[in-house]
Amino acid sequence: MNSNSTRIARNTFMLYLRQILIMLVSLFTVRMVLDILGAKDYGIYNVVASMVVFFTFLNGSMTSATQRFMNFALGQDDVSRARDVYSASFIIFMLIGVLVVILSQTVGLWFFYTQLNIPPERQGASFVVYQISIASLVIAILRTPYSATIIAYEKMSFFAFVSIAESLFRLVNVVLLKFINFDKLIVYVLLICMTEIIVVLIYKVYSNRTFEIAHFRFCHDKILFRQLLVFSGWSFFGSIAYLGRGQGTNVLINIFYGVGANAAMGIASQVGAAISSCLASFQSASSPQIIKSYSMKEYEYFMSLIFWVSKISFCLVLFFVLPLFINTEFVLRIWLNNVPEYTVTFAQLVLLSPLISAISGPLSTSIRATGDIKKYQLVAGCFMLACLPLSFFLLSVGFKPSWTIITNLTLDSLSLLWFIFYLGKMINLNVISFFYNVMAPVFIIAGVTFAITSFFGSLFDDWNRLFITCIVSSITIICLMYLIGLNKNEKKIVMHWMQSKIAFKI
């Protein structure tokens, strides 16, 4: 158990370092892209990309199934089974790529020409962007078996290295745009596609050389194929609901408010994605251990991980969210030369979503560990899909586009509450203990930290306020997390770790 905890801590550090660097590069890249492309082309790129991303619902469901069955097999030390999972999933991902191409050239083209609000003079360029984006998506789909294998073996150092390299490639792509006279929007997505090809080749070479299971062989295990497809089938509903909500909301905003509002949503989404990626980094490090501990029937450790990861995830996200929330307008002004309308409000609301995901993430992983995800996906998917008719109604009667995000947050909160009670029956989660030891402490920490940080922040302006709020919020979160967030055993572990580090330095 101690070695597992050490591995989680080491992998978390590597992924957090990765994400901080990626976040800095991404924020700088978005500013450059907005300046070079302009608000109109950036809005077009965002809405067309939203259409393309919608097709990943096929890929997302299978990704979840691959990671679950691969982690489960490795947890039982069944290398042959893990190899079969890899090979079977590779076949399925290839079929998914073919299906994405078919859907994108039929239903996708119909929607592109009849529903999107794109200026007539940019429709030709938008069509080319759409086709190149589809190619990038298919290439990314073929990368999934390799990344799933790397995560299953918890080789987060390599995963972090490649992710950082990919973000730097994207930065180079933006710099190159300044020296190219051809249509910059088309060139930009073409460079992204080339980057995707390079990354896939890196993943393939490393996986084939490092992991014994990462060698394709024809798998004739019909039961495994059926298990993967059934699991991914229920994940499919959850994936299409999630993407339908996110990308469908973007399309609704485009229909009612045009590409200008899409540009604002695109910028806000980049901010939210940066925070969500930090959260995903931590939970990616812990998810394999949650699934493996369940497969090995270590139920006490399994439950302790769910509680611990939920609390720590929330506080780690709060480190980033709180200073950004208080200083959103200032940060956007120094980040962007021109801040589109609605961007500040969009960004502040989007920042709240990862706080909910921080708690729900480990709970979702625990369900995937059991393999029985039918009811969870149905109910959670319905909560997410309910956002679209509600958002359509609100926009059609004149509400501002920010209400689409408020609707998302409300439904996510209701879904989380249902999920906790459902897990009380599903995996014998102690609901009262979860509310007492996780929900209550993190909300107290968030509320008290926000009040204290806002007070000190009100005494300063601009850079001084940003600096003060970062320092005050960080100190307050650490102190409150230790005082009311950690239980006695967790405090002992922290103290023992600190004493060992001090003794080592002495």
pLDDT of residue 167: 79
User: Quick count: other Cβ atoms within 10 Å of Cβ 55?
Assistant: 23
pLDDT of residue 289: 80
Give the CA angle between residues 403, 365, 202 to the nearest 5°: 95
d(C-alpha 188, C-alpha 196), whole Å: 13
Query: What burial letters (b/e) apply to 480-491, b meaning 16+ CB within 10 Å?
Result: bbeeebbeeebe
Answer with the residue of higher pLDDT: 55 or 189: 189
Cβ burial of 450 (10 Å; 0-12, 13-18, 19+) is middle
Helix (H) or strand (E) holding 406: helix 402-426
Asked if residue 228 has pLDDT above 50, the reply is yes
For 427-485, where are the alpha helices, taking DSSP H only? 431-434, 440-457, 462-480
Whole-angstrom CA distances from 318 to 23, 290, 330, 368 are 16, 23, 19, 26
pLDDT of residue 318: 92
Phi, psi of 245 (to 5 degrees): -65, -50
Average pLDDT over residues 143-149: 84
Residue count (the chain): 506
Average pLDDT of the chain, as a whole number: 81
Average pLDDT over residues 171-196: 83
Asked if residue 86 has pLDDT above 80, the reply is yes
Answer with the residue of higher pLDDT: 249 or 61: 249
**Number of domains into which the chain is organized:** 1
Contact 354, 317 (CB under 8 A): yes
Q: Which of 361, 340, 359, 207 is nearest to 283 (CA)?
A: 361
Look up residue 355 and give its two tokens: 């706080």
Cβ burial of 95 (10 Å; 0-12, 13-18, 19+) is exposed
Percentage of the chain lying above the pLDDT 90 cut? 16
Q: Please state the pTM of the whole predicted model.
A: 0.71
Look up residue 200 and give its two tokens: 């896939």
Phi-psi region of 258 (alpha: psi -120 to 50; beta: other; left: phi over 0): left
pLDDT of residue 349: 92
Average pLDDT over residues 385-392: 89
Average pLDDT over residues 40-59: 68
pLDDT of residue 453: 94
Look up residue 363 and give its two tokens: 């709970």
d(C-alpha 194, C-alpha 236), whole Å: 28
Query: What are all long-range contacts of 162-166, with beta carbons under 8 Å and residues at least 24 apart?
Result: 162/199, 162/202, 162/203, 162/206, 163/18, 163/22, 164/18, 164/21, 164/22, 165/199, 165/202, 166/195, 166/199
What is the residue range of 379's domain?
2-505
SS3 content of the chain, % helix, strand, coil (to 5): 85, 0, 15
pLDDT of residue 497: 54
Chain segment 412-469, per-residue pLDDT in tens: 999 999 989 998 888 888 999 999 999 999 999 999 999 999 999 988 888 999 999 9
Contact 440, 310 (CB under 8 A): no
* Displacement of CA 271 from its chain's centroid (Å): 12
